[in-house]
Amino acid sequence: MDIRIHSTVQIDKNFEEYVRDKFDRLEKFIFNEGTADLHIKKEGPFYVSEIKLLSKHHELFLKEQNNDLNKSVEILFDRTKRQVRKMHDKITDRPHKQ
């Protein structure tokens, strides 16, 4: 899965690599090649993390804000994982045509 990180907030290479590794885990739930655009920005006292996930048949957009950058990304990852698993389960639980 192609993950692009766009940030208006200063993040170091270790944090960027950590985020890439975390979101790479979602690839097993996406059947076709997908892309993920992760935007991290600061609005007032809050860090806002947004992800737009595109695959062949599905599109997903989630947004999370928190006053801690790490928490914002962690909560966004958890929510994204739940949604991607739901999409995956809907596809795999369909009865096959005979």
Query: Domain span at residue 13?
Result: 2-92
CATH number of the structural domain spanning residue 19: 3.30.160.100
Q: Tokens at residue 24, please?
A: 């790479």
More confident residue, 62 or 34: 62
Q: Tokens at residue 41, please?
A: 């920005």
φ, ψ of residue 31 in degrees (nearest 5): -70, -45
Would you call 34 helix, strand, or coil by DSSP?
A: coil
Rounded Cα distance, 65 and 62, in Å:
10
Mind listing the pLDDT tens digit for each residue in 67-94? Answer: 999 999 999 999 999 998 888 888 777 6
Mind listing the pLDDT tens digit for each residue in 38-58? Answer: 999 999 999 999 999 988 778
Indicate the pLDDT class of residue 96, thresholds 50, 70 and 90: low
Interior CA angle at 33 toward 79 and 73, to 5°? 25
75 belongs to a structural domain: yes
Count the domains in the chain: 1
97 belongs to a structural domain: no
